[in-house]
Amino acid sequence: MESCSQTVLIQNRLGLHARAAIKLVELAQSFDAQVTIGNGDKEVIADGVMGLLLLESSQGQHVTIQAKGPQASQALEAVCGLIEQKFDEDE
């Protein structure tokens, strides 16, 4: 089973807030892979908005995205891209 990870910087002003978390969960669920997001000592599976909000990831923090499964590399690339694009938010 494929497994990969990458650390990215949260750049959007509001950080990983509800709207951004919904986008991330929907994107992660569109791949045949389990995506987890870690922030220091906390780590959650990206299958629910509440878990992501509990990470309390704000602007300027780094998060580590891990993906496992048949589409791990595609999922990792897509999720990292979403975060790097500031969740497509106009600031």
CATH number of domain containing 51: 3.30.1340.10
Q: Which of 2, 6, 14, 17 is catalytic?
A: 17
**pLDDT value of position 7:** 98
Give the domain range for residue 71: 3-88
* pLDDT by position in tens, the chain (length 91): 899 999 999 999 999 999 999 999 999 999 999 999 999 899 999 999 999 999 999 999 999 999 999 999 999 999 999 999 999 998 6
Q: How many domains does the chain have?
A: 1
Q: Confirm whether 17 is a catalytic residue.
A: yes
Is 3:73 a contact under the CB 8 Å cutoff? no
Q: What are phi and psi of 44, to 5 degrees?
A: -135, 155
Please answer whether residues 11 and 81 qualify as being in contact, where contact means their C-beta atoms are separated by less than 8 angstroms: no
